[in-house]
């Protein structure tokens, strides 16, 4: 069993994920750019590290859950990065990031005898709090098998998809599906309201049939309440859609639904809504 875990990034999802590992009995060391953000975990027994490099010196596994690919690259490959000090063991990036970067980190880690996995997640703040995340893993199967008990403390559906980058490619498929689905949910609500229907009653009815989806059941009620609080930030979703479109372009695959969704979210971001939750897309339709 891997006993010591270093966790980098304690945001909307990372904090809950780290809490589950701490509650499961792992010795946890955390690093965030602002120590105050980790205060609750430290009070519960987590240790503190002043940099990714310091964190990596005495843990079996390093996990990262941060915002952007540039953050991931800095954490692992930067001057004070994890791979400057990590000796053996495992690194696991659970950020939704670039497949190309996942391959780059894997290659750098392999050269120094460190096993690297890309393991992005889906399920938002609710999945993180309830330890029901879907975890999509790329990298060597032996490393996946070794860390499966740890993944089971954070997620419910956990699957290995292949070589380095496969987890990120799978997460891009997830985000592509969500992008068009979110537009559909918003359009259904806007249409129901325009018809003079009770939107709540419509939602309760159609969520039990063929239209059922996570977004319809979990995010549409927030739309009706006018609750824009982020379970997943618009700015991060825009980042994900950009990565998906870039990789699709590389494969000469046209994704018109994804392009439209990104354009709508870009408009919201331009109006200062980048820190709202993705459900705030309803405001584009109700403007």
Residue 221 near residue 207, CB atoms below 8 Å:
no
- CA distances to 11, 48, 169 from 129, in Å: 12, 22, 25
What's the rounded Cα separation, in Å, for the pair 83 and 64? Answer: 13
The closest of 269, 259, 267, 260 to 235, measured between CA atoms, is 269
| 262 a catalytic residue | no
Catalytic position from the list 103, 104, 171, 262: 171
Query: What is the set of active-site residues?
Result: 171
């Amino acid at each position: 069993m891997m006993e010591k875990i270093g966790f980098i990034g304690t945001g909307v999802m990372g904090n809950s994920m780290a809490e589950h590992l701490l509650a499961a009995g792992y010795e946890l060391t955390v690093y965030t750019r602002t120590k105050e953000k980790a205060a609750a975990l430290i009070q519960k027994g987590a240790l503190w590290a002043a940099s990714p490099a310091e964190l990596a010196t005495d843990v079996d596994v390093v996990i990262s859950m941060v915002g952007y690919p540039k953050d991931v690259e800095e954490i692992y490959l930067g001057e004070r990065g994890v791979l400057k000090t990590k000796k053996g063991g495992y690194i696991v990036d659970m950020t939704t990031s670039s497949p190309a970067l996942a391959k780059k980190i894997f290659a750098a880690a392999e050269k120094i005898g460190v096993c690297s996995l890309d393991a992005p997640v889906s399920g938002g703040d609710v999945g993180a709090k309830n330890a029901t995340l879907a975890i999509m893993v790329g990298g060597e199967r032996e490393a996946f098998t070794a860390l499966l008990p740890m993944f089971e403390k954070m997620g419910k559906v956990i699957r290995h998809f292949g070589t380095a980058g496969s987890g990120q490619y799978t997460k891009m498929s997830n985000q592509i599906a969500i992008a068009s689905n979110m537009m559909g949910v918003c359009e259904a609500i806007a249409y129901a309201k325009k018809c003079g229907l009770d939107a709540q009653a419509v939602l309760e009815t159609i969520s039990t049939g063929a239209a059922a989806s996570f977004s319809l059941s979990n995010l549409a009620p927030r739309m009706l309440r006018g609750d824009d609080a982020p379970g997943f930030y618009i700015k991060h979703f825009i980042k994900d859609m950009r990565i998906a479109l870039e990789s699709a372009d590389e494969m000469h695959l046209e994704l018109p639904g994804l392009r439209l969704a990104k354009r709508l979210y870009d408009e919201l971001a331009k109006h200062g809504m980048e820190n709202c939750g993705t459900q705030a897309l309803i405001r584009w339709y109700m403007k």
